[in-house]
Amino acid sequence: MWRCSKILVPVDFSDTARAAISAALQIAADHDAEVILVHVEEGMDKELRKRIYSAPNDTVIEDTMVYAEQALKDAANLELQRAAEAGEPLPGVKIRTEVVGGDWLEVVLSWIEEYDVDLVISGTHGRKGGVKGIFSSTSEKLVTRATCSVMVVKPQGFPYLRD
């Protein structure tokens, strides 16, 4: 039987990311797995290096990270609450939140290796038409390059999200 102990969910705060969080929490509850929610701020790492030299006392980056970290926690709590209201409570799921800078795909691929991730659950915005309608170009690259299983979800993928 397949088991997983770590599930990575890249979060951009869209409806599809919300569906990915929901799926991750449900799977984590079944497998007693840890869910790692990561928000990648593109270019934040470069901006941070620049500000260290030009404005070392500026807190813009830190404030952005604190805000995004709280938004990740709020998103997870919302999905836990929605699951409970739908009669599917998910108590005791371990959730870790991280905010980092860099390229979304490269961060996710490096975290798969660094944190020994068993499953990545990613939302997709998708393209219209044909086979390519299933995946956005980034999701397609993730599925192709990831060394672990990848689940790609759409926002309508879970019944209690349909409102």
Length of the chain: 163
Range with lowest mean pLDDT among 31-35, 54-58, 73-77, 154-158? 54-58
pTM: 0.82
Determine the pLDDT at residue 162: 47
Q: How far apart are CA 151 and CA 2, in angstroms?
A: 14
* Angstrom distance (rounded) from CA 158 to CA 85: 14
The Cα 62–Cα 64 span in angstroms is 5
**Which homologous superfamily does the CATH classification assign to the domain defined by 6-161?**
HUPs (3.40.50.620)
Q: b or e along 119-131 (b: 16 or more beta carbons within 10 Å of the residue's beta carbon)?
A: bbbbbbbeeeeee
On average, the pLDDT of the chain sits at: 83
| Structure confidence at residue 102 (pLDDT) | 86
Give residue 101's pLDDT. 86
For 131-146, what is the mean pLDDT? Answer: 73
What is the Cα–Cα distance from 54 to 104, expressed in whole angstroms? 26
Q: Is residue 55 within 8 Å of 163, Cβ to Cβ?
A: no
